Amino acid sequence: MKETIQFRKQRELGDILSDTFKFIRMEWKPLGSLIIRIPGIALLAVVLSYIYYIRSTVGSFGLNDSSWPGSAITSGFEAVIAVFLLLGSALIFYSLLYGTILFYIKEYVQQDGEVDPRKVERQLRDGIWDLFGLNFLNAIIIVAGSIFCLIPGIYFAVVLASTFSIMIMEKRDITDSIGYSFKLIKGEWWITFATLLVVGILYYIIALIFQVPQYLYFFVRAFTSSAEISGDPGEMFDWIYVALSSIGMMAQYLLQTIMVVATALVYFNLHERKFHTGTLETIESIGKRER
């Protein structure tokens, strides 16, 4: 019999960490296939936008890198367009990533570990616009809170971390999901913050491993070609650096899977602490087996 993870139960910080990586290890093949097929397309757009951003930024500072085919000094307007393209493609990617993983987990929970990828894709298509809207509104709230003071931004980020799970697991609309997230986390903000902080640190350490090659190349090239680069700092951003940087970025974005699974476990933990849904289901299943 296939080993499954019980999502509907209370967990301490250590349990959330261990079950996050356990779930990814157990489901990496079917879940990873969906991630590559659906958010992977948006990730390609993110990488292309990033390459365009580097090219635009280098040009906008008056640097001319001859290693770029057809290179020319670009305008500040082009750099602004590049930033919007990068932010927009990232917003789409995160919406698709959260939707893919959380609809997968929803199916996993409802079907005792058996997931139909076609059903996940169908549910994602039906809910994609709500995911975009929720992601966009969450970003506005967090950024607005961070602008006035960093602390409100952190507070809102922790509270809103469960909104995607609330929307998908409970079929709530955008505003209802955001409003309910404040009720769900009431009295549990600090432990949720600590959990997300630890998971975030682990994510950052793992993601940093994939960025080591670009940093090594950057420093090696800076020392070996100092004279050439001093004449044109844009020489640092050649195709090798961009390729290594793009690989690191792709790994960084895909590793966000860790954060998404962790937020799902946080949601179920908070929900179980308040409503004991999983405990009641376990009692009912025991009663049915004894009849």
**Mean of the pLDDT values across residues 276-282?**
59
* Average pLDDT of every residue of the chain: 85
Each as own residue / partner, the long-range contacts of residues 219-224 (CB below 8 Å, 24 or more positions apart, any chain) are none
Q: Which residues contact 232 (CB under 8 A, 6 or more apart)?
A: 63, 64, 65, 66
Distance between CA atoms of 11 and 249, rounded to whole angstroms? 32
> Which pLDDT score is estimated for 150?
81
Q: Which of 77-91, 170-184, 229-243 has the highest mean pLDDT?
A: 170-184
Residue 62 Rama label (left phi>0; alpha psi -120 to 50; beta): left
> Which pLDDT score is estimated for 239?
82
**pLDDT higher than threshold 80 for residue 269:** yes
> Which pLDDT score is estimated for 226?
60
Residue with tokens 């995911």: 131
- Structure-block tokens of residue 13: 């910080």
**Mean of the pLDDT values across residues 264-284?**
77
Distance between CA atoms of 171 and 179, rounded to whole angstroms? 14
> Which pLDDT score is estimated for 209?
93
Neighbour-count burial of 4, counting CB atoms closer than 10 A to its CB (0-12 exposed, 13-18 middle, 19+ buried): middle
Q: Which of 181, 267, 258 is nearest to 18 (CA)?
A: 258
> Which pLDDT score is estimated for 80?
83
**pLDDT higher than threshold 90 for residue 56:** no
Q: Of how many residues is the chain composed?
A: 291
Distance between CA atoms of 270 and 9, rounded to whole angstroms? 9
Q: Which residues contact 69 (CB under 8 A, 6 or more apart)?
A: none
Q: How far is CA 171 from CA 37, 132, 166, 167, in A?
A: 24, 15, 7, 5
Is residue 167 within 8 A of residue 177, CB to CB? The reply is: yes
Angle at 8 between CA 277 and CA 169, to 5 degrees: 85
**pLDDT higher than threshold 80 for residue 93:** yes
What tens digit of pLDDT does each residue of 115-174 get? 999 999 999 999 999 999 999 999 999 998 888 778 889 999 999 999 999 999 999 999
**Mean of the pLDDT values across residues 76-90?**
86
Min mean pLDDT across 22-26, 187-191, 279-283 is at 279-283
Is residue 267 within 8 A of residue 166, CB to CB? The reply is: yes
Angle at 195 between CA 189 and CA 199, to 5 degrees: 145
> Which pLDDT score is estimated for 76?
67
The band of 235, judged by pLDDT with boundaries at 50, 70 and 90, is: low
Distance between CA atoms of 219 and 105, rounded to whole angstroms? 42
**pLDDT higher than threshold 80 for residue 9:** yes
Query: What is the rounded end-to-end Cα distance, in angstroms, of the chain?
Result: 23
In this predicted model, which residue has the larger pLDDT, 258 or 243?
258
**pLDDT higher than threshold 90 for residue 106:** yes
Return the amino acid letter for 261: V
Return the amino acid letter for 5: I
